[in-house]
Amino acid sequence: SPSILWLRRDLRRGDLPALGAAHDAARSDDGQGEVAAVFVLDPALWRSAGTVRRAWLAETLKATEAAYDGRLCIREGDPVKIVPALAAELGAGSVHVSRETTPAGRRRDRAVAAALDEAGVRWVETGTPYAVGPGTVTNGEGSEYKVFTPFSKAWRQHGWPGPATEPKGLRLASVSSEQQARTTLKKAREAKGLPDLPAAGEDAALERWAEFRDGALADYGKDRDRADLDGVSRMSPYLKIGAVHPRTMLADLHDGRRNLGQGADKFETELAWREFYADVLWRHPRSAWHDLRPALSGMEYADEDQAADLVDAWRQGRTGYPVVDAAMRQLLQEGWMHNRMRMVTASFLTKDLHVWWPVGARHFLDHLIDGDIASNNHGWQWVAGTGTDASPYFRVFNPITQGLRFDPEGNYVRRYVPELAHLRGPAVHEPWKHDDGYAHGYPEPVVDHADERREALRRYEAVRR
Ligand code: FAD
C-alpha cells in the first residue's frame, strides 16, 4: 500500500526527512512502495491569508508540482475530512508530515491524527520547518530560555543534522487533483493588483540563496540594517513556505571550504531568531495574539475608533514621517518590508500612535509575503515591549534619525514616496526644513514625535507604578 506525504509549509522535494520516512514506510508496508504527495487547500487558512500570500502559495504549488514530476495531488477542503478520505481512497497505511508547531497547525494535526487513528492509519511526524525543533532547546534545569542570547548559544550547541538526501528508488504515485482546487489556485495567481513576486519554488529558492551566499553575505554584518541597499537575503518568503529548509542554508554557512567570515555568523544569528520565536510560540501558544509578558498590563492604548484615521494614515503610508511612509508603501507595493523598517513602523504605531500591537501585526500578516505568526507577532511584541527581551519600553525609535542613519542618501524614501522625489540626498527625511518640501502634496506629520514620545513614556510610567 502507498504512504501519503502530506505537504504543508514544506513545499520542496530536497532536504525533506518526511519524504524519506514516507518512502521507507511504503517500502516496508509491502506492495508497490509508492509515495502519494498531497497538498490540501484548507479554506480556513486560505481565508486568513492576504492576496499576496495566496498568490505566493499558488505559484509555489505550481513549481512544487513540477518538482514532483507532475505528481502532486491537490485537494480543497477541511483536512480533517480530506486526509482520512484520501487515505481510504488509496488504501494508504500511513500519513507522513513535518511536525507543525503553530497553535492552529497543532490543533488541526491532532484532529487529523485522531481521525486517521480511528481508521487504523498511522500518523508519522518527521522533522519540523526548523533546524532544531521548537520545544527542544532547554537550559540546565530543563526549562525554556526566556531571552534570545542564551537561547541562541544553546541552540548552536545543540546543533542540527546535515541536509537530508532524497531516498533512493523513490516512486511517486499518480493521484488526481481536484478541479475546484486548481481553479482556486489559478484565480489567486491571476488576482488583480499583485506585486511582482519573486520566482517561486525550490530551484528558485536555491538560486537566490547561492546568489546571496556568494555575494552580499560577506558584507551582511555591515549592510543588513541599510534599507536602501540590497544587503539582505530576501529568503524569508522561501523559508516561510518551506521551499528551502534552514538546514540547507546552515550547512553552507558551516562549510569549512568556504571562508564566509563574519557575515555568515551574523546570518546564522538571524536564523536563530526565527527558531527562537517558533520556540516561544510552541511553549506559549497564547502569545500569538496576547501579550507574552504582563509588563504592560493596564497600559492605556488608543481607542480604536478614535485612532481610526491615524491608523489608516499609518497603513497607507501617509503619516508625514518619510521613512515610515516609504516602508508602509513598500509593504503595500511589494508585500515585503526591510527588517529595520519593520521595527521603525511598528514602533511608530505602538509608541507614537499608542495603538496596541495586534492591530499592526494583523495588517502586516494581511500584506507580507513572508507573513509568519511566530516571527511577525513576536517581532511586534518585541518592539511593543510586551515580548521576549523586550527592548526597554523607553527606547522609542525616532523616525527621523532612523531614516538618516539607515537610508543616509534618502534613496529608499525617494523610491517609494514620489511626492518627495524632488528633494536631494538626506533632505527627504526632513521636508519641513525645505521651502519646497510640501510642493508635491506630501502630508504634514500627523503627530509630533517629541510630544508622542513623552506621552508614551507617561503612559509607561503610569503602569509601572
Ligand atoms: P535576512 O536579514 O536576510 O535574514 C535571513 C533570515 O533570518 C530571514 O529570512 C528570517 O527567516 C530570519 N530572520 C531575520 N531576522 C529575523 C527576526 N528579527 N525575527 C525572526 N526571523 C528573522 N519575518 C518573517 O519571516 N515573517 C514575518 O511575518 C515577520 N514579521 C516581522 C514583524 C516585525 C514587526 C519585525 C520587527 C520583524 C519581522 N520579521 C518577520 C523578521 C524579519 O524582519 C524578516 O525575517 C526579514 O526582514 C526578512 O527578510 P530577509 O529574508 O531578507 O532577512
Tell me whether domains 130-160+201-283 and 294-464 share a fold: no
371 lines ligand 1 (CB under 6 A): yes
Region 130-160+201-283: CATH code: 1.25.40.80
23 Cα: distance to centroid of ligand 1 (angstroms): 33
370 lines ligand 1 (CB under 6 A): yes
* pLDDT attached to residue 229: 96
Residue type, 272: A
| Index of the ligand 1 atom closest to the CA of residue 376 | 30
- CB proximity list for 392: less than 8 A, separation 6 or greater: 385
Annotated binding site for FAD: 220, 267, 270-277, 370-372
* pLDDT attached to residue 394: 76
Query: Which 3 state secondary structure label does DSSP give 213?
Result: helix
Region 294-464: CATH code: 1.10.579.10
* pLDDT attached to residue 388: 86
DSSP tag of 220: H
Assess contact for 257 and 214: CB atoms under 8 A: no
Average pLDDT per consecutive 10 residues, the chain (465 residues; last block may be shorter): 96 98 87 89 93 98 97 97 97 97 96 98 98 95 93 96 93 94 97 95 98 95 96 98 97 75 92 98 96 90 93 98 98 97 98 97 98 97 87 84 98 98 98 97 98 95 85
Query: Interface pTM (ipTM) of the complex?
Result: 0.99
| Residue for grid cell 499609518 | 314
Q: Around Cβ 13, how many Cβ atoms within 10 Å?
A: 21
Separation CA 39–CA 242 (nearest Å): 13
User: pTM for the whole thing?
Assistant: 0.97
Would you kindly state where each structural domain of the chain is located, as residue ranges? 3-127, 130-160+201-283, 294-464
Separation CA 373–CA 289 (nearest Å): 9
Separation CA 196–CA 56 (nearest Å): 10
By C-alpha distance, which of 400, 379, 404 is closest to 319? 400
Annotated binding site: 220, 267, 270-277, 370-372
* pLDDT attached to residue 4: 98
Which residue's alpha carbon is nearest to atom 4 within ligand 1? 270
- Which cell goes with 256? 569549512
Residue type, 356: W
The DSSP element (H or E) to which 76 belongs, if any, is: strand 72-76
Assess contact for 220 and 82: CB atoms under 8 A: no
CATH topology of domain 3-127: Rossmann fold (3.40.50)
| Residue for grid cell 526591510 | 338
342 lines ligand 1 (CB under 6 A): yes
* pLDDT attached to residue 391: 63
Outline where DSSP puts E strands in 295-443: none
| Residue for grid cell 516512486 | 171
Separation CA 61–CA 294 (nearest Å): 41
What are the distances in angstroms from CA 46 to CA 78, 81, 337? 11, 17, 22
| Index of the ligand 1 atom closest to the CA of residue 337 | 47
- DSSP for 230-296? --S---HHHHHHTSS-HHHHHHHHT-TTS--HHHHHHHHHHHHHHHHHHHHHHH-GGGGTS-SSGGG
339 Cα: distance to centroid of ligand 1 (angstroms): 6
Separation CA 293–CA 378 (nearest Å): 11
* pLDDT attached to residue 134: 97
264 lines ligand 1 (CB under 6 A): no
